[in-house]
């Protein structure tokens, strides 16, 4: 049985895709799953994070496999990895339907981070159109949420009106997520008992459970 493939996609840059991909991968690995990361973004930020992780923990203690691919090669690489790993997490570039489409096509579930702003919501509509074309289900994840902001409440209502699944777990606007990435870690290692760590573990569980439900 092939493993689950989760593609992190969002047409708007700066949405937190790479940070989310790294954190979900480590969270899945923390539950005992074998995990591979696939970076299809030419910017290569996920690869830089992985190299920093190797330097910090050592190549044999990273806990993850890492590959890169571009264009239609991403679909082939993702399918190959899914035969050997329980989970494949794919990071995609923004603003490129051509580059993102193969990674979306290979996905069990597309995870779409959405910051609660009008600009992000507009970009999300374009991403969801792409997932619809490829007939792949999407799960929207509210990212960098300011829980007390009025705009957040208004945008949450608008996000729910898009007609797609929205994760019950949202990620707060926490410096810890990005800060932990600087030296190849995630909040699960730099702040294991923090609210941020609990959020990402809960989200990883919800993402995997959603994929299981869709497969039934």
- Which CATH number covers residue 169? 3.40.50.300
Per-residue confidence band for 15, with pLDDT thresholds at 50, 70 and 90: confident
**pLDDT value at position 67?**
97
CA dist 60 to 24, 40, 129, Å? 20, 24, 40
Radius of gyration in angstroms for the set of CA atoms belonging to the chain, rounded to a whole number: 16
**pLDDT value at position 96?**
64
Q: Does 122 or 42 have the greater pLDDT score?
A: 42
pLDDT tens digit sequence for 64-113: 999 999 888 999 999 999 999 999 999 998 876 777 899 999 999 999 99
- Element spanning 190, H or E: helix 187-190
Q: Does 50 or 147 have the greater pLDDT score?
A: 50
- In order, the DSSP letters of 121-145 are HHHHHHHHHHHHHTT--EEEEE-SB
Q: How many domains does the chain have?
A: 1
pLDDT of residue 178 exceeding 70: yes
CB atoms within 10 A of CB 148: 7
Which of these, 179, 170, 204, 195, lies nearest to 49 by C-alpha position? 179
- Provide the mean pLDDT of the chain: 91
Whether the predicted model's global pTM rises above the 0.85 cut: yes
What is the residue range of 24's domain? 4-215
Q: How far apart are CA 174 and CA 197, in angstroms?
A: 11
Q: Does 162 or 37 have the greater pLDDT score?
A: 37
Q: Where are the beta strands (DSSP E) in the chain?
A: 4-8, 35-39, 65-68, 87-91, 109-114, 138-142, 165-166
Say if residue 161 is exposed, middle or buried (CB neighbours under 10 Å; 0-12, 13-18, 19+). exposed
pLDDT tens digit sequence for 52-72: 999 999 988 899 999 999 888
CB atoms within 10 A of CB 10: 28
pLDDT of residue 41 exceeding 80: yes
DSSP reduced 3-state for 202: helix
Residue carrying the six token digits 């030419």: 42
**pLDDT value at position 82?**
96
pLDDT of residue 179 exceeding 90: yes
Q: How far apart are CA 126 and CA 133, in angstroms?
A: 11
């Amino acid at each position: 049985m092939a493993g689950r493939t989760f593609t992190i996609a969002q047409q708007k840059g700066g949405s937190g895709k790479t940070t989310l991909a790294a954190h979900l991968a480590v969270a899945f690995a923390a539950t005992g799953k074998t995990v591979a990361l696939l970076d299809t973004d030419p910017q290569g930020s996920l690869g830089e994070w992985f190299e920093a992780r190797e330097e910090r923990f050592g190549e044999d203690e990273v806990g993850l496999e890492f590959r890169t691919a571009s264009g239609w090669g991403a679909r082939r690489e993702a399918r190959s990895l899914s035969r050997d790993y329980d989970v494949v997490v794919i990071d995609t570039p923004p603003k490129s339907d051509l580059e993102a489409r193969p990674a979306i096509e290979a996905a069990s579930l597309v995870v779409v981070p959405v910051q609660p702003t009008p600009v992000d919501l507009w970009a999300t509509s374009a991403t969801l159109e792409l997932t619809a074309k490829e007939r792949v289900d999407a799960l929207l994840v509210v990212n960098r949420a300011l829980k007390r902001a009025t705009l957040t409440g208004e945008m949450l209502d608008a996000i729910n009106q898009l007609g797609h699944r929205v994760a019950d777990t949202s990620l707060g606007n926490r410096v810890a997520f990005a800060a932990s990435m600087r030296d190849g870690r995630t909040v699960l290692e730099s702040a294991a008992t923090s609210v941020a760590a609990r959020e990402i573990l809960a989200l990883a569980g919800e993402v995997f459970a959603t994929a299981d439900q869709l497969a039934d």
